[in-house]
């Protein structure tokens, strides 16, 4: 996502490229470790993480096609939206927790993932504010013109776009284990609001360039269109992930309901009369006596002709006249 490569940005680019390469190699090694242990890890997740790491490397090291502003927007789309989506879909935290042996390293990683600062940073509205608020601040103020030719500012801009995109994508998808899994309605509403804010920003850039910059009209409009339509594609992919999560959740709920209905509505046979505590509490499915098992809701068939002694009247236990002792 570089508009002008300067010698001062070389070190940062090498660090970021090295981190992306190390992450891709570590991810592949963890997947191989699971397979050698006899566990399975989908190959498409390995391909997804590789694609995300490759996208980061290409933006950092390789020039993007097109005029300056269009090339910048192509890099923004890859670094801030597409690459985070591929990385999050690969579930790197889940893989790391499964690959690490039980011990301090695994407990430490889980403690960091469940720490309150991390939990708040992946709260969907806050993550959207960090991501979209940073973009509005960058493109609707003179900050964009300032960081173009400042190596440190340019490095901070790239790092912010990548980290903010990862936080927002993770907060919406929530595929890896988190301490507080937010409701699907909240994540969906956050995605809709963030998509609208991104589209409005792209529309404003189509009409007015960032303050302090001067781009050709065709370059500005093409870059704004890349931001607008490319953002729609990535946001639609995020919506598909949410829909798949909802479908799986509904399927699990229905399966659990059917399982409970099968196991909870059949009374097991019991030998002898019920204990008094069980009689006071009442049997499942409305049964009033401990007879043979019957389906829930069907009338009971009594096979005893005399009531239990504790339900008999005052005359129970009395001798009838003329009976033998």
Q: Left (φ > 0), alpha (ψ -120 to 50) or beta: where does 97 sit?
A: alpha
Across residues 1-7, what is the average pLDDT?
Answer: 47
255 domain residue, yes or no:
yes
Map residue 100 onto helix, strand or coil. coil
Of the candidates 59, 56, 60, 61, which has an alpha carbon nearest to the alpha carbon of residue 83?
56
pLDDT band at 247 (very low <50, low <70, confident <90, very high): confident
- The pLDDT tens digits of the residues spanning 283-322 come to 544 444 444 445 554 544 444 445 555 555 555 445 555 5
Owner of token pair 């946001």: 235
Least confident of 22-31, 57-66, 168-177, 187-196: 57-66
In this prediction, residues 121-138 reach a mean pLDDT of 93
Smallest CA-to-CA distance from 128 within 80, 75, 179 is with: 80
Rounded to an integer, the average pLDDT of 11-22 is 83
Task: Indicate whether 286 belongs to any domain.
Answer: no
Report pLDDT for 1: 47
Q: Is the pLDDT of residue 267 over 70?
A: no
Measure the CA–CA gap between 150 and 303, rounded to whole angstroms. 92
User: Which of 105-114, 138-147, 277-286 is predicted least confidently?
Assistant: 277-286
Q: With beta carbons less than 8 A apart as the criterion, state whether 12 and 56 touch.
A: no
Mean pLDDT in the chain?
80
Q: Does the residue 4 lie in any domain?
A: no
In a domain, 293, yes or no: no
Tell me the average pLDDT across 223-248.
92
* Residue 233 forms part of a structural domain: yes
What would the two tokens of residue 58 be? Answer: 């290409």
Structure tokens given for 104: 């301090």
pTM: 0.74
Give percent above pLDDT 70 in the chain: 78
Q: What is the pLDDT of residues 136-168, one digit of tens each?
A: 999 999 999 888 777 777 778 888 999 999 999
- The answer to the question of residue 305 being in a domain is no
- The answer, yes or no, to whether residue 103 has pLDDT greater than 60, is yes
- Supply 27's token pair: 């991810």
Number of domain units in the chain: 1
58-77: burial string, b at 16+ Cβ within 10 Å, e else: bbbeeebeeebbbbbbbbbb
**Would you say residue 273 has pLDDT above 90?**
no
194 assigned to some structural domain: yes
pLDDT of residue 249: 74
pLDDT band at 234 (very low <50, low <70, confident <90, very high): very high
pLDDT tens readout for residues 171-216: 999 888 877 788 889 999 999 999 999 999 999 999 999 998 888 9
Q: Name the least confident of 70-79, 83-92, 104-113, 249-258.
A: 249-258
Q: Is residue 302 part of a domain?
A: no
- Structural domain boundaries, residue 90: 9-101+115-259
Alpha-carbon dihedral sign for residues 192, 197, 202, 206: positive
């Amino acid at each position: 996502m570089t508009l002008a490569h300067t010698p001062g940005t070389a070190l940062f680019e090498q660090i970021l490229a090295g981190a992306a390469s190390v992450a891709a190699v570590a991810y592949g090694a963890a997947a191989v470790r699971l397979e050698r242990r006899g566990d399975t890890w989908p190959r498409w997740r390995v391909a997804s993480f590789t694609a995300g790491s490759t996208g980061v490397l290409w933006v950092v090291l390789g020039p993007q096609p097109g005029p300056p502003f269009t090339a910048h927007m192509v890099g923004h789309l890859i670094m801030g939206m597409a690459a985070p989506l591929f990385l999050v879909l690969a579930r790197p935290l889940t893989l790391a927790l499964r690959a690490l042996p039980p011990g301090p390293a695994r407990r430490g990683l889980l403690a960091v993932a469940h720490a309150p600062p991390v939990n708040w940073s992946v709260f969907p509205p806050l993550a959207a504010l960090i991501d979209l608020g940073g973009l509005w601040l960058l493109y609707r103020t003179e900050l964009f013109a300032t960081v173009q030719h400042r190596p440190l500012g340019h490095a901070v801009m790239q790092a912010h776009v990548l980290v903010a995109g990862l936080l927002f994508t993770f907060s919406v998808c929530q595929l890896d284990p988190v301490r507080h899994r937010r409701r699907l309605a909240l994540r969906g509403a956050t995605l809709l609001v963030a998509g609208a804010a991104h589209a409005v920003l792209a529309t404003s850039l189509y009409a007015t360039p960032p303050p302090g910059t001067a781009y050709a009209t065709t370059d500005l409009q093409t870059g704004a269109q890349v931001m607008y339509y490319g953002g729609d594609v990535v946001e639609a992919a995020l919506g598909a992930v949410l829909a798949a999560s909802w479908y799986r959740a509904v399927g699990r709920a229905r399966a659990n309901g059917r399982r409970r209905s099968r196991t909870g509505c059949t009374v097991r046979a019991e030998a002898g009369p019920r204990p008094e505590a069980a009689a006071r509490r009442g049997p499942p499915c409305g049964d009033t006596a401990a007879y043979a098992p019957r389906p829930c809701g069907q009338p009971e068939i009594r096979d005893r002709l005399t009531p239990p002694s504790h339900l008999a009247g005052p005359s129970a236990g009395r001798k009838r006249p003329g009976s033998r002792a």
